[in-house]
Amino acid sequence: MKLKTIRMLGIDPGSHRTGVAILDKTGNNLPNVIHFGTIESPPNTALPVALQILRNSLLDVIDEYKPTFSSVEEIFFSKNLKTATRVFQARGVILLTLAEKNITIYEPTVTQIKKGVTSSGKADKKQIYTALKLILKLQDIKGYDDSWDAIAAGFVGFSFIPPNLK
């Protein structure tokens, strides 16, 4: 009997930089990280243009890797209202794009992601990075922490998939 492989798209929404990661999981094995990186718009890019860059780049990732599921980090309120507004708008574009592509969306909170990766809901970025390297047997995770957060979101996203879909 051939085991089913599930492909997950992890996303860490950001105002100018969004982390993305593709993970595959077969059966009860640990997920494999297939791709990770960031989608960026240059500083001072007008919001409509930045959102268009985000959407087009996200569509490129979706078209190349064809994920079935996605795990998009839920946003916590930021003290900087201008930044928070941009992140909320980016997240809206992400959710709409995923829905249009018929990709199932899970929305774990930051605390759920931290706890799912490190067993502590109060873990910092370095602890998440270290845990991901150990759990997923990664040599190194280069790039911005947004991409690490996307890997973490994808990793935790597998726990949201109902058993009948695995």
What secondary structure does DSSP assign to 49-108, as a single string? HHHHHHHHHHHHHHHHH--SEEEEPPPPPPS-HHHHHHHHHHHHHHHHHHHHTT-EEE--
Note the Cα 108 to chain centre separation in Å: 10
The single residue of 12, 63, 64, 124 carrying the catalytic annotation is 12
The answer to whether 146 is a known catalytic residue is yes
Q: Are strands 17-26 and 5-12 parallel, antiparallel or unpaired?
A: antiparallel
The single residue of 60, 100, 145, 146 carrying the catalytic annotation is 146
The single residue of 24, 60, 64, 73 carrying the catalytic annotation is 73
Beta strands, E only, 53-166: 69-72, 104-106
Name residue 6's amino acid: I
Q: What is the residue whose two structure tokens read 């078209």? A: 63
The answer to whether 63 is a known catalytic residue is no
Integer Rg of the chain from CA: 15
Active site residues: 12, 73, 146
